[in-house]
Structure 1
Amino acid sequence: MKIGIISDTHIGKNMNKLIHFLDEHLKEVDMIIHAGDYKTSEAIKLLQKYKPFLGVWGNVDCNNVKKLLHEKEIIKVNNYHIGIYHGHGTNKTTIMRAYEAFQGFDVDIIVFGHSHQPIIQTKNKVLLLNPGSPIYKRKERWFSYIILQLEENNIDVQLKFWN
């Protein structure tokens, strides 16, 4: 299973940036995971039409987005349990908030966003993935996303950068 992981797209009315990104970088994936901050429900509808999609809402998402998605999800893909949470909140770092959101749950991988800073890290045998943002990089030098390939006995994670 090949999964494209994105977050923090912050798309308003103009979907062209997201469409271009999807066509250019995620054509070959089997599924897309988005870790929140779409800004509008139109972005979700676009992702749902493009590929099998799963996402959570983030702190800048409107009520229309929150009606369509949960704040936190756990899915099972090829015997791996993946927790998805945007990472918003107060106190602690984004990565710690994401990690603690799944305390008491059996997860192998946690996908989060919020900081716009791409991260691949492990903590206590859990793989932590923040894809950054594919179209709204803030202070980062490059746009970024993650390709996660899950096989029965192998995980391949690639952090991708582009201008």
Structure 2
Amino acid sequence: MRIIVVSDTHMPKKAKQFPTRLIQELYTADLIVHAGDWHSINVYNQLSTYGEVIGVYGNVDDNELKEVVPRRVVTEWEGCKVGIVHGHGDKKTTEKRVIEEFEGEELDLIIFGHSHLPLLRFVKKTMLFNPGSVTDKRRLPYYSFGVITVDHQGLRADHIFYSNKET
């Protein structure tokens, strides 16, 4: 199973269309995950043209989008239990908030966004994965998104980095 993971697209404010680098990967996806801050329902509709989409809303998302996607998701892929949440809130770091969000649940993977900072690390046996942003890298050198593979070998996650959000 090949999952393309995006977050913090902030469209159309930060970009009018998806970067070509992302579009190339969307064609290969078995599933597309968006970890919030889509900005509008149009992003959901555009992603849906490439395949099945699941996701959560973030702190800048409009009410129309909040009617389509929940605040958090717990799902299972090929026997791996996965939590998805945007990660916004008060106090603490984004990472601490997402860990607390799923406290008491045994998850293999937590996907989140909000910080725009690509992250891949483990807390105990749970992989934490933030894909970064495909349209708003802030002060980072690259834009990014994620590719998660789930197969008989287990769960693997990688970041795709690129420097031009137009191509």
For the superposition of Structure 1 and Structure 2, which TM-score range results when normalised by the shorter chain?
Answer: over 0.9
Q: Is the aligned partner of 1:50 residue 2:50?
A: yes
- Kept after mapping to 1: 8 A contact 2:4/2:148: yes
SS at match of 2:42: helix
Classify the secondary structure of the residue corresponding to 1:54: strand
Superposition TM-score, scaled by structure 1 size: 0.93
Q: Which residue of 2 aligns with 1:68?
A: 68
Q: Any gaps of 5 or more consecutive residues in structure 2? A: none
Question: Which residue of structure 1 aligns with residue 34 of structure 2?
Answer: 34
> TM-score under structure 2 normalisation?
0.91
Q: After TM superposition, give the deviation of residue 154 of structure 1 in Å.
A: 2.3
Q: Which residue of 1 aligns with 2:89?
A: 89
Structure with the larger helix share = 1
Q: Distance in 2 between matches of 1:85 and 1:13?
A: 22
Per the alignment, do residues 72 and 154 of structure 1 end up closer, same or farther by CA in structure 2, a change over 3 Å counting?
A: same
Cα distance in 1 between the residues matched to 2:40 and 2:21: 17
Cα deviation, 1:116-135, whole Å, max 9, x if unaligned, reads 00000100210000000012
1:108 is aligned to 108
What letter matches 1:80 in structure 2? Answer: C
Q: The residue matched to 1:68 in structure 2 has which SS? A: coil
Q: Which residue of 2 aligns with 1:148?
A: 148
SS at the partner of 1:92?
A: coil
Structure 1's unaligned 5+ residue stretches are none
* Higher deviation after alignment, 106-115 or 5-14: 5-14
Q: Aligned partners of 1:35, 1:155: CA distance in 2, in Å?
A: 18
Query: For residue 34 of structure 1, what is the amino acid of its counterpart?
Result: H
The answer as to whether partners of 1:79 and 1:152 remain within 8 angstroms in 2 is: no
Q: Deviations over 1:13-46 (max 9, x none)?
A: 7975216344233221211111000101111111
Give distance in 2, aligned partners of 1:51 and 1:22. 14
Higher mean C-alpha displacement, 66-75 vs 21-30: 21-30
Contact kept, 8 Å, 1:82 with 1:108, in 2: the verdict is: yes
User: C-alpha separation between the residues in 2 aligned to 1:76 and 1:45?
Assistant: 23
Aligned to 2:131: 131
Identity level (%) = 34
Instruction: Tell me the alpha carbon deviations over residues 136-162 of structure 1, each in whole angstroms, 9 at most, x when there is no partner.
Output: 211211000111101133222111100
- What CA distance in whole angstroms lies between the structure 2 residues aligned with 1:145 and 1:136? 11
Q: How many residues end up aligned between the 2 structures? A: 163
